[in-house]
A and B are shown apart, each in its own frame.
Chain A
Amino acid sequence: QVQFVESGGGVVKPGGSLRLSCAAAPFTFSAYYMSWIRQAPGQGLEWVSYISDSGRAIFYSDSVKGRFTISRDNSKNSLYLEMNSLRFDDTAVYYCVRDRAGRGAFDIWGEGTLVTVSS
C-alpha cells in the first residue's frame, strides 16, 4: 500500500527555519509529480508548492515564494520542504501529496506534520 511518512514538524520561533521530509513507499516515486499542501487550524486547504517528476519544474504559492524551497531525491524516494523566515501564519499541518497523473489530482496524502510558529 502506497504511503508517505512525514517528519520534521515542530515548534519554531518567528523568523526561524524547519526542514520537512517525506519518505515514500512503495511506488515508483520518480515517476510522479509531488506537492506540499497545508491546512491552518480550522481553515481550508492551501497549496504550497509543486515539483515535477524530474525536479526541473517547480512552483510556489505567493505566500511562501522566496522563503520555502521544495526539492526531491528520487534515489531516496524522498520529498523535502525547506522553510525559512517562518511567520505566525505558516502555522499549519503540512501534507506530502502525490499527483496521480501530473494534472492536479492528488491521490495519495500523508498523515501530515504540524508546524507551529510561536514566540
Chain B
Amino acid sequence: QSVLTQPPSVSAAPGQRVTISCSGSDSNIGNNYVSWYQQVPGAAPKLLIYDNDRRPSGIPDRFSGSKFDTSATLGITGLQTGDEADYYCGIWDYSLAHYVFGTGTKVTVL
C-alpha cells in the first residue's frame, strides 16, 4: 500500500485539461522534490516533471507540475490521444528511507 495516493482514473475530451493529484505527508512531499512519470502501454516509464515543477528537455509545456504543503498536482492541457497512459508521482520518503511511487492514475481521452 503506497504512502502516496492518486485518483485511479481521470478522463476528458481532446483539447481539454486534466489534473492529477498526489497526496502524501510531511516525510515525503512536505519536505522533498516530487517527480512525475508517464507510462504508455507496453513501454518503460518516462520522466515528465522533476523538482516539483521542472520539465526535462523535450517535454512539452502542456505538462506542468505544482506542489503545496503535502500534495502535488500534475496538469495536462490540450489533451491529446497520445496522452492516454498511466501517470505516477514519485518521491524520496525520509521517514521510510525509501523511494515511493504513487498508486498511479490512468488518463483516458474520451
Evaluate contact between A104 and B92: CB separation under 8 angstroms.
Answer: yes
Interface residues of A in 90-113 (CB under 8 A from B): 95, 100-101, 103-107, 109-112
- 7 nearest A-B residue pairs (beta carbon): A105-B50, A47-B99, A109-B44, A104-B92, A44-B104, A45-B101, A105-B35
How far does the alpha carbon of A6 sit from the alpha carbon of B90 in the complex, in Å? 23
Instruction: Count residues on chain B whose CB falls below 8 Å from chain A CBs.
Output: 26
Q: Assess whether B91 is interfacial by the CB under 8 Å rule.
A: yes
Please judge, given known A-B contacts A103-B92, A107-B56, whether A50 and B44 are in contact too, CB under 8 Å: no
Evaluate contact between B98 and A109: CB separation under 8 angstroms.
Answer: no
Interface size class of A (residues with CB under 8 A): 20 to 34
Q: With contacts defined as CB atoms under 8 Å apart, how many contacts are there between chain A and chain B in the complex?
A: 64
A105 CB contact (under 8 Å) in B47, B88, B102, B104: B47
How far does the alpha carbon of A43 sit from the alpha carbon of B4 in the complex, in Å? 15
Sample 16 A-B pairs with CB under 8 A, ordered by A number: A45-B37, A45-B88, A46-B101, A47-B98, A59-B97, A59-B98, A62-B98, A101-B50, A104-B99, A105-B50, A106-B45, A107-B47, A107-B50, A107-B56, A109-B45, A112-B44
Evaluate contact between A44 and B99: CB separation under 8 angstroms.
Answer: no
| Residue in chain A with minimal CB distance to B46 | A109
- Measured between beta carbons, the chain B residues less than 8 angstroms from A35 are 99
The smallest beta-carbon distance between B19 and chain A, in angstroms, is: 19
| Residue in chain A with minimal CB distance to B101 | A45
How far does the alpha carbon of A104 sit from the alpha carbon of B44 in the complex, in Å? 17
How far does the alpha carbon of A59 sit from the alpha carbon of B93 in the complex, in Å? 12
Evaluate contact between A44 and B35: CB separation under 8 angstroms.
Answer: no
